[in-house]
Amino acid sequence: MYGLSAILNIARGAMNANQLAMQVISHNMANVNTPGYTRQKVVLETQVPWNLNRLKVGTGVQVDSVIQCFDRYSTRAIIQNTSSLKDYESKALVLSTVESLWNETEENSLSQILDEFWNAWQDLASNPGGTAERTALLGKAEILTRRFNSLSQELGQIGQNLNTNLRAGVEEVNRLTGQIAALNVRIRTAEASQTTANDLRDQRNQLLEELSGLVGITYLEQDDGSLTVLTREGLLLVNGNESWDLSTEGTSIYYNGIENDVSDRLTGGKMGGWLDLRDETLPQYLANLDEMAGTLIQEVNNLHLAGYTLSGGTGMYFFKDFQVAPGVPNAGDYSGAAAYISLSSDVLGTPENIAAGGISGAPGDNGNALSIAALQTDGSLVIRKWTITDRGQSTTSNPQTGSLYDYYQGLIGELGIFTEDTNGNQDFTQSLLDSLAGVRDSVSGVNLDEELTEMMKVQHAYEAASKVISVVDQMMQTLLDMR
C-alpha cells in the first residue's frame, strides 16, 4: 500500500504511538513518589516496510512493548541488606532499653549500690555494736537485693515483649506470603500473553522487600514469572500459588501447623534480631547476672555463718540460703539467683543477728565485718562467665578469677561494646542500602525533568503527525480540485 492513504495511515499510527508514549510518561510522573515503582518506557519500532518494486518504503511507527527499567542485581542486594538492616535495627532498639537498665552513667547504678553495701560493712566494722550501723547495713543490703530482683525481672519482661513482637511478626509474614502467592497467580495469568505485568511485579517486589525486613529470605523467579520464596535456612514460604503459614505456640514458632519449633530456621530481619536477643543475648546477660548474685550469696553467707552475732550466736545466714528445690538456685547452679536473692529470715528485722564478730560477738568485735568488707576487693573469687550462642543450643561457661567488680565491669563493657557494634553495623548497613537504592533509582527511579523532556519530544512528534494529516488533506483537496 502506498499513496496518500498510506501516508494518512502512517500519521495515524504515529499519533497513536505517541499518544501511548504520552500515557506511559504521565503514568511515570504520576508514580514519581510511589514506593517501589519502577520507571516504564515505551519501546517504539518501525512498521514492516512495503515493497514497491525494488524499493522498500517505510510504513511508519508502532509500539513494540512497554518495558520496566529494572535492575535485578541491585534489587536482590537491597532485599538481602534490608534483612540485615532490620536485624540490626530491631536489636539496637531493644539494646537501648537493656543498656538503660544498667544506668551506669547515672546515680544509683548497680555498682554504686554495691559500693554502698560494702561501705555499710565497713561502717559496721568501725562500730560493731552500733544498732544504727546494723540497721543501715540491712537497708543497703535490701536495696541491693531489690536491684538484682528488678534487673532480673526487667530482663525477663523484655524477653516477653519480644515474644509479643514475634507473634505480630508471624502474622505479618503470613499476610505477606499470602499476598505474594496471590500476585504470583495474577502475574502468571497476565504474562501468559507474552507481555510483562509491570505494575503487578512492582507490587510483588514491594511485598518481597517488606518480607525481607521481617525475616531473611532467598527467592528465585520461575519461567512462568511466579516467585518461589524461602527463608535463608530453607523453609519454603511461597511457591507458585501456594504459601505456607507460620504459627506461634508459647515461645515456639511452628511451620505449616507441624508442632516442631522452627525458630532456629528464621534468621535475619526483625524476627531474626528478636530471636537472637530472646534466645542468646538476654539469657546470657541474665545468666551472668545470676552468677554475680549467686556468688554474692555464697561468699557473704560462707563468712557470715562463721561469725558471731551481738548476742554471741553463730551459724546465721545473711542472705537467704540456697535450697535444693526445683527452680531454686543452689550451690552448684546459680541460675535464677538474681531473682532469688533476698535477706535471710535470720537477719531480716533483727539487726543484732548480723555476725559482725569474728571470735565472740562482743560489742567491739569487728573481725567478721572486716572479713566480709574485704570481699569487695577480693580478687581471688572464681566466677563463671556464661556464653550462650546458637539460639541457646550452645551454653558454655568459663571460670574467671577476679573480684565481683572485675566481673561486673566485664559485663558492662561487653554490653556497651555489643550495643555500640550493633549501632555501628546499623549505620553501616543503612549507608550501604542508601547507595544501593541510589544504584537502583539510577535505573528505575522517575526523574520529573527527564519525563518532562520526553513529554515535549512526544508532544512535538504528535504535532508533526497531525501536521502530516492536514498536509495530506490539502494534497487530496488539490487532487480533487483538478479539472
Partner 1 sequence: MMRVGTASIYAGIQLRLQRMAADLKSLNEKIASGKNLNRLSDDPIALVEAMKFKTAARQMDQYGRNLNTAASWFTASESTLSQTLDLVGRARELAVQMSSSSQDAENRDAAAAEIGDLLDHAISLGNTDLSGRYIFSGFETGTAPFTKIVVGGVETAQYNGDTNDFQVQVGKDQTLTVGRNGQTVFMDSGLFSTLGGLKKALEDDDLAGIGTQLENLTSVENYLNSQIADIGVRHNQAQVRENILSQIQFELKDQLSRVEDADIVEVMIQLNAKQLTYQAALAAAARVSEMSLLNYMD
Residue ranges in contact with partner 1 by CB under 8 A: 32-33, 39, 95-96, 99-100, 102, 104-105, 109, 111-112, 114-116, 118-119, 122-123, 125-127, 129, 357, 359-360, 362-366, 370, 373-374, 376-377, 405, 409, 412-413, 415-417, 419-420, 423, 434, 437-438, 441-450, 452-453, 456
Nearest approach in angstroms of CB 195 to partner 1 is 25
Are 97 and 156 a contacting pair, CB within 8 Å? no
Give the integer Cα–Cα distance in Å for 122 and 356: 10
- Which residue has 561457661 as its cell numbers? 397
Query: Which residue, 111 or 395, has its beta carbon nearer to partner 1?
Result: 111
The nearest distance, CB 311 to partner 1, in angstroms, is 12
Q: Give the residue with the Cβ less far from partner 1, 90 or 226.
A: 90
- The least CB distance from residue 365 to partner 1, in Å, is 4
User: In whole angstroms, what is the distance from residue 247 CA to residue 256 CA?
Assistant: 8
Q: How many residues does the chain have?
A: 483
Instruction: Closer to partner 1 by CB, 290 or 365: give it.
Output: 365
Q: Compute the least distance from the CB of residue 383 to partner 1, in Å.
A: 17
Q: What distance lies between CA 223 and its chain's CA centroid?
A: 33
Contact 286, 156 (CB under 8 A): yes
What 3-state DSSP class applies to 443?
Answer: helix
8 Å CB contact between 340 and 298: no
**Closer by beta carbon to partner 1, 285 or else 317:** 285
Specify the residue, 18 or 444, whose C-beta has the smaller distance to partner 1: 444
CA 295, 297, 300, 302 dihedral sign is negative
Residues 301-320 as b or e (16 or more Cβ within 10 Å = b) = bebbbebbbbeeeeebbbbb
157 grid coordinates: 519482661
Shortest Cβ distance from residue 113 to partner 1 (Å)?
11
| Alpha helix positions (H), 59-130 | 72-101, 110-126
- CB 402 to partner 1: min, Å: 13
Grid cell listed for 72: 535485578
Which residue shows C-alpha cell 544506668? 103
Nearer to partner 1, 10 or 133 (CB): 133
Contact by Cβ (8 Å): 367, 381: no
The residues facing 401 across adjacent strands are: 382
Of 109 and 163, nearer to partner 1 (C-beta) is: 109
387 within 8 A of 56, measured Cβ to Cβ = no
Question: Please, what is the minimum distance in Å from the beta carbon of residue 99 to partner 1?
Answer: 4
Residue closer to partner 1 by CB (options 42, 373) is 373
For 217, counting Cβ atoms within 10 Å of its Cβ (0-12 exposed, 13-18 middle, 19+ buried), the class is buried
* Choice between 107 and 249, CB closer to partner 1: 107
**Angle at which helices 282-306 and 131-190 pack, to 10 degrees?**
160
Nearest to 264 by CA among 167, 98, 389, 105: 389
